Structure 1
Amino acid sequence: MFNSRTILITGGTGSWGQELTRVLLSYNPREIRIFSRSEFSQVQMQRDFNNHPSIKFIIGDVRDYDAVLNACKGVDYVYHLAALKHVPICELQPDEALKTNVLGTENVIRASIQQDVKKVMDVSTDKAVDAANFYGLTKVYGERLMIRANELSETTQFVCIRGGNVLGTRGSVVPFFKQLILENKEIPLTSTEMTRFFLTITEAITLLIKASHDAVGGEIFVMKMKACRILDLTNVLCKNITKNSIQIVEKGIRPGEKLHEDLISRYETERTYYYGEDYYVILPSTPSTALSNKYNQLPKVSFSSYSSDSSLLSEAEIEEMLKSGGFC
């Protein structure tokens, strides 16, 4: 699929983008274009990949349609990872989140159609399900725009990949808590009852690649994910990193945060199917003939919703998950 092809990754200097680049290089693409705003991050990534000849770095912002249009020229596949993702920041500056996450996504769609891209993979989040914050709302719009885009082109396919928290990504809870533990500082916990979905970066990229191969356009792929209490995760990190006693202080839920997250809402389950052992696929309310032909023979899910508090990992299972991700 990717051999001798040209691939564009928006927001490609982030944790997802760098791991995706490593995996894609094994398929011998003609070129991987890394499109992002940060000059410093691009220089660092270029060094990390030893100036690989198949990687091209492009400074640009998804808010800028002309920049996205030029970046998409001659591209076969687009992975749209660029987004503002920090919930409190999006709450405080919703206008900026709107520009990047909604208008930027619209620019990617328009440019991909204009440049005859074969397939666009949009990375979404569990926060788009029953959205309780502005970040989640922007990702809802992003998903809807992507799914609808399949009606705008007969040649470009659009698919969404919805996931939870990826262990170890920049600004995420595990590296943040790990650093606090190493510095023997107290850990701020929003709530002792808070739960979240987690997956490793390897699992995340596996889902992206599978969706890239299998999607016909218009569906949302969801990985079956592990979930745990943040308190249990914190206790496991403390146990594995230090012998000191680390104080955990409950601070209260921040603006826009939910106690539990959902990956599939109660409104989506009636059109959600089991897709192998590790995935679900959600069809739009009015699926195309291609979607119906591919998925309607699969069994529908039997649950009413897919929430992070429905099945929780034990501390031993959390430790195993963290070790598999290289964090303890």
Structure 2
Amino acid sequence: MDVADFYKGKTVLVTGGVGSIGSYLVWELLKYEPKSVRVLDNNETGLFDLEQALQSDRIRLLVGDIRDKERLTVAMEGVDIVFHAAALKHVPLCEFNPYDTVKTNVIGTQNVLDAAYDQGVKKVITISTDKAVNPSNVMGATKLLAERLTISANMYRGHKRSAFSCVRFGNVLNSRGSVIPLFTQQIQKGGPITVTHPEMRRFFMDIPSATGLILKAGMLSTGNEIFILKMPAARIMDLAEVMRDLLAPQYGFKPEEIAIEIIGMRVGEKIDEELLITDETSCVYENDDMIVVVPKLQPFSTDYVPHEHVPDGFHLVTMDSYSSKDAQLLTREEIINLLN
């Protein structure tokens, strides 16, 4: 079965459905003729704008917040699959607003899982981030808890056949608040371009790749898996220099007129990001495009066999780590191709 056949005729709920990933996911789902796509978000204006852009009778717009469990329970009635994309994601804002970050990223995720139990949703896919791996900030710590809650939900389902899985992203190009829109705005104004550390490295993926990973995970998931797209890494300084050279002439500047300023690392930032926790490196499976992590054991289960939870076409692989520090970095030409 391919992705189009899998989603045809299904009812899907997307939390955080007007965000960068959520809205693109809604657009893609509509191509596959679902019965309906429910879009839940607390951004009323964003929901209105999405409705005007889509003009589809297959979408259902739901004003609500994942902090409201009762709203989620009603929203999930008759739903086959939930893609949980709602979250607070900006590292500095989360660092200085930890209470609210926990309410959304942790308690909100628990609400999503509880509502899915109550309504017998077949699959829940939680959207996570590489910052959940060995976290050094509030956002990453709360997303790690969201991952653990999601995977642990498989132990609570009893006789229900709900499956709970995660996808783990790197930096998503051109998502709201990401570095590329920021650099573009700074270049447009004549600089300076602000880089926090000259050696900072990050994994990158574009929005279509991120969405493709989510949709494949929804199709392949049987519960317990963490899906990770194989991604390239790049130095933020290299990205800044390439963008300056490409965009400066478009805004009437010479590249050498736009300075790159090192401003120091923000609270909670790391020089490198990782995609695997140390304990996960012994239970990693891969195909050409993706990595799947499954737990080595299932507490309170006497018949759990890890490899039975691995999708077809994946094989066991030995990995000591998966860090942007050790990754082969994109060349200048490859960064140009990625931006295009």
Sort the TM-score into its range (normalised by shorter chain). over 0.9
Contact 2:16 2:86 survives alignment (8 Å): yes
Identity of aligned residues (%): 40
Q: Answer whether contact 1:182 1:242 (CA < 8 A) is retained.
A: yes
Q: Deviations over 1:257-292 (max 9, x none)?
A: 001000112221111112x10111111131574642
- What is the CA–CA distance in structure 1 between the aligned matches of 2:113 and 2:130, rounded to whole Å? 21
Change beyond 3 A, Cα 1:290–1:56: farther
Letter in 2 for 1:213: M
Aligned partners of 1:267, 1:291: CA distance in 2, in Å? 14
Indicate which of 247, 257, 275 corresponds to 1:263.
275
- Contact kept in structure 1, 2:224 and 2:309, CA below 8 Å: no
Indicate whether 1:225 and 2:231 are aligned. yes
TM-score (norm 2): 0.92
Superposed CA deviations along residues 235-256 of structure 1, whole A, max 9, x for unmatched, are: 1111111132211110110000
**Aligned match of 2:295:** 284
**1:64-85 deviation digits (Å, cap 9, x = unpaired):** 1101111111111100000000
Asked whether 1:46 is paired with 2:46, we answer no
Residue 308 of structure 2 aligns with which residue? 293
Q: How far apart, in 2, do the equivalents of 1:141 and 1:36 lie?
A: 22
CA distance in structure 1 between the aligned counterparts of 2:151 and 2:310, rounded to whole angstroms? 16
Q: Which amino acid aligns with 2:50?
A: M
User: Which of residues 95, 105, 110 is equivalent to 1:106?
Assistant: 110
Q: Give the equivalent residue in structure 1 for 2:258.
A: 246
The number of residue pairs the alignment matches comes to: 321
Q: 2:22 aligns with which of 17, 24, 41?
A: 17
- Counterpart position of 2:68: 64
**296-305 or 69-78: which moved more?**
296-305
Pairwise CA RMSD of aligned residues?
Answer: 1.4
Map of 1:180 onto structure 2: 186
- The residue type equivalent to 2:273 in the other structure is E
Structure 1 SS opposite 2:317 = coil
Aligned to 2:218: 212
Give the corresponding residue for 1:141. 145
| Inter-CA distance 284–294: structure 2 relative to 1 (3 Å threshold) | closer
Counterparts of 1:103 and 1:206, CA distance in 2: 27
- CA separation in 1, counterparts of 2:29 and 2:309? 26
Q: What SS class does the counterpart of residue 162 from structure 1 fall into?
A: strand
Q: Distance in 2 between matches of 1:34 and 1:166?
A: 21
Residue in 1 that maps onto 2:42? 37
**Inter-partner Cα distance in structure 1 for 2:282 and 2:309:** 17
* CA contact 2:190–2:258 (8 Å) conserved in 1: yes
Deviation at residue 183 of structure 1 after TM alignment: 1.6
